[in-house]
Structure 1
Amino acid sequence: MRDTSDTSDTRMSSTRAASRSSRLSLVIALSASALLSVLGPAHAAPAKDPLPADIPDYQAALDAVKSTDVRDAVCRFLRTPVPTDGVGGPVQTIPETAEPCHDLPAFTIKDPLARNEITPGFVAGTAQPLPTEAIKLTQLVSSLSTTVNGRNATVMLAPTQGGGWHLAAVRDGDSDATYAGKATVGTLVFTEPQIRGWYQLKLLTVEPLNDQAREGLGGRSSVSLGDYQKLVKARYADKLPGSEYDSKGYSSGYSAQSEADDASPSTPLLAGGAGTALALAGAAAVLHRRRRASTR
């Protein structure tokens, strides 16, 4: 009788080799497919960067910072000297000019970045020490591509009721946008506006980004989000809107909104002091009316 064991072993070996080769080919094919899906076809033009998923109506924000009206507002701001009288100094009116950008060096306004703040619920201790409950998006900030006559400025956008974004203020300097730009994949940058502290949140760990934040953490290099909540609760929980501290007029109370949003909706104003802000509620209303008219 013919011995077929050698033949069977050979066939099984060949089958296993073919199977391994097939699996290897599949892995290579899947890897190549994944790589191509990231890089795109060879020699093809790079696709346009996707809009940030964590910022609603981001295209409206882009349209706002690229608009002529916002650029003119920045130029008027840059033409107005910064007051040196400190906080509580006189308020200056921004002069209206036909061509506010005339003779100014060329500049562009960068794409907006998220400006996140701690939430009142997190401060009060009613919200859990979780990123989704502790931090919220309040504004967008855009700095200039270059200094203009030795100055920089930050465009601040506020959400429009019903959707979209509008110009809220133009602030001297670019620190807000600089810190907001430190956010990376897997991290979140936010501010504690009462002390102008900036922090980076990595999972559930809070790390300071500037001296004010380090002082706010008592000199520590990092704390848990839960421990940070205890710190801000001790600082502000008794000063929230509606508190005795607020109702007696000692302060405006804790608020997550920028002072620029509370400006009178009439004439653009330049307030004195550090962190100078140009309140442009009136300009925002004009932009909103123009958008409605163009839509019609």
Structure 2
Amino acid sequence: MRDTKTSSKRADSRFSRLSIVIALSASALLSVVGPAHAAPAKDPLPADIPDYQAALDAVKSTDVRNAVCRFLNTPVPTGGAGGPVQTIPETAEPCQGLPTFSIKDPVARNEITPGFVAGTARPLPTEAIKLTQLVSSLSITVNGRNATVMLAPTQGGGWHLAAIRDGEGDATYAGKATLGTLVFTEPQIRGWYQLKLTTVEPLNDEARQGVGGQASISLGDYQKLVKARYADKLPGSAYDTNGYSSGYSPRRTADDASSSTLLLAGGSSAALALAGGAVLLRRRRRASTC
């Protein structure tokens, strides 16, 4: 009889510890979930996105809207990723002649962190994934095109326009996050994944190829894959210092840009960016082919 009671107590203890682990994992995940799963507009702004009101103000501003109009009025360059970057001309009324459109509320664009890639960070949501940008798509297709507005954090607080990319893929995938899940990208291969506690599920073909065709993989096993792919290409590595790519690093903020001149990079994923960031965009596409 004593043995039965002892076994029952041990089982209860193990169950209690397991419950605590699950609760802590869920708490860690929810602490980094982006605004894609935020409540309707009447509810408070998402507390996990710093200065989210500034992001809303940015995407609704006349300056950003005019930049989108100039982007939509400029033909996409037909050259490859290494082709020339063209300057988008300034016009007095950039939106004249275009259908009326609005820019949707921004959602979180999360990426894997350099520490996670290097293997120095633990395979936990709070250490593996980091908010790097906010993205917004247009309310309608304009003259057969859509666009994604990309905001970067401003040093000292707030958000500002970092780039405008042709298409709406980033915003569409980022918007798939739900309460209790996190969506992130592996930018080198343009793979998108959904993280449920510590299980990674691919969302597009690039991501499925990135995990060898598996339907899901643990966050720990996913870390092993990206470490094998990129750990020797981090900033400061021989791969980086020899000029083969920009290495793996969080996206630079617009404070790094030396000019506010708008440019349009060539290639299938053409993007408008500040002058200081245009080279980074071209390098990223080249790095994804290495």
Q: TM-score w.r.t. structure 1 length?
A: 0.77
1:142 paired to 2:108? no
1:19-38 matches, cutoff 5 A = none
1:242 paired to 2:236? yes
1:57 paired to 2:54? no
In 1, distance between residues paired with 2:177 and 2:255?
Answer: 25
1:155 paired to 2:155? no
From 246, 270, 273, the equivalent of 2:267 is 273
In 1, distance between residues paired with 2:70 and 2:254?
Answer: 17
Maintained 8 Å contact 2:152/2:253: no
AA aligned opposite 1:118: I
- Residue in 2 that maps onto 1:84: 78
For residues 197-230 of structure 1, what are the alpha-carbon distances to aligned partners after superposition, in whole Å with 9 as ceiling and x for unaligned? 0000000000000000000000000000000000
Maintained 8 Å contact 2:263/2:275: no
- Residue in 1 that maps onto 2:67: 73
User: CA offset at residue 266 of structure 1?
Assistant: 4.3
User: CA offset at residue 166 of structure 1?
Assistant: 0.5
In 2, distance between residues paired with 1:247 and 1:47?
Answer: 46
- Residue in 2 that maps onto 1:230: 224
- Aligned in 2, Cα 1:47/1:69: closer, same or farther, shift over 3 Å? closer
Higher relative contact order at CA 8 Å, sep ≥6: structure 1 or structure 2? 2
1:125 paired to 2:119? yes
AA aligned opposite 1:127: A
Maintained 8 Å contact 1:267/1:280: yes
In 2, distance between residues paired with 1:260 and 1:163?
Answer: 12
- Residue in 1 that maps onto 2:101: 107
AA aligned opposite 2:67: A
In 2, distance between residues paired with 1:243 and 1:150?
Answer: 42
AA aligned opposite 2:261: T
Identity %: 86
Larger radius of gyration: 1
- Residue in 1 that maps onto 2:199: 205
- Aligned in 2, Cα 1:279/1:203: closer, same or farther, shift over 3 Å? same
Question: Secondary structure of the residue that 2:231 maps to in structure 1?
Answer: helix
In 2, distance between residues paired with 1:74 and 1:185?
Answer: 31
- Aligned in 2, Cα 1:254/1:182: closer, same or farther, shift over 3 Å? same
1:246-261 matches, cutoff 5 A = 246-257=240-251
- Supply the RMSD in Å over aligned alpha carbons: 1.8
- Aligned in 2, Cα 1:261/1:141: closer, same or farther, shift over 3 Å? farther
1:163-178 matches, cutoff 5 A = 163-178=157-172
User: CA offset at residue 71 of structure 1?
Assistant: 0.2
User: CA offset at residue 280 of structure 1?
Assistant: 2.9
Maintained 8 Å contact 2:154/2:253: no
Question: Secondary structure of the residue that 2:141 maps to in structure 1?
Answer: coil
AA aligned opposite 1:151: R
Maintained 8 Å contact 2:161/2:254: no
User: CA offset at residue 54 of structure 1?
Assistant: 1.6
Count the aligned residue pairs. Answer: 237
Unaligned runs of 5+ in 2: 1-39, 277-290
User: CA offset at residue 79 of structure 1?
Assistant: 0.1
User: CA offset at residue 145 of structure 1?
Assistant: 0.1
Maintained 8 Å contact 1:108/1:144: yes
User: CA offset at residue 255 of structure 1?
Assistant: 2.0
For residues 9-65 of structure 1, what are the alpha-carbon distances to aligned partners after superposition, in whole Å with 9 as ceiling and x for unaligned? xxxxxxxxxxxxxxxxxxxxxxxxxxxxxxxxxxxxx98122112211000000000
- Aligned in 2, Cα 1:258/1:78: closer, same or farther, shift over 3 Å? farther
From 101, 110, 116, the equivalent of 2:110 is 116
User: CA offset at residue 103 of structure 1?
Assistant: 1.0
Maintained 8 Å contact 1:261/1:279: no
AA aligned opposite 1:269: L
In 1, distance between residues paired with 2:227 and 2:164?
Answer: 30
In 2, distance between residues paired with 1:239 and 1:281?
Answer: 25
- Aligned in 2, Cα 1:64/1:77: closer, same or farther, shift over 3 Å? same
Question: Secondary structure of the residue that 1:84 maps to in structure 2?
Answer: coil
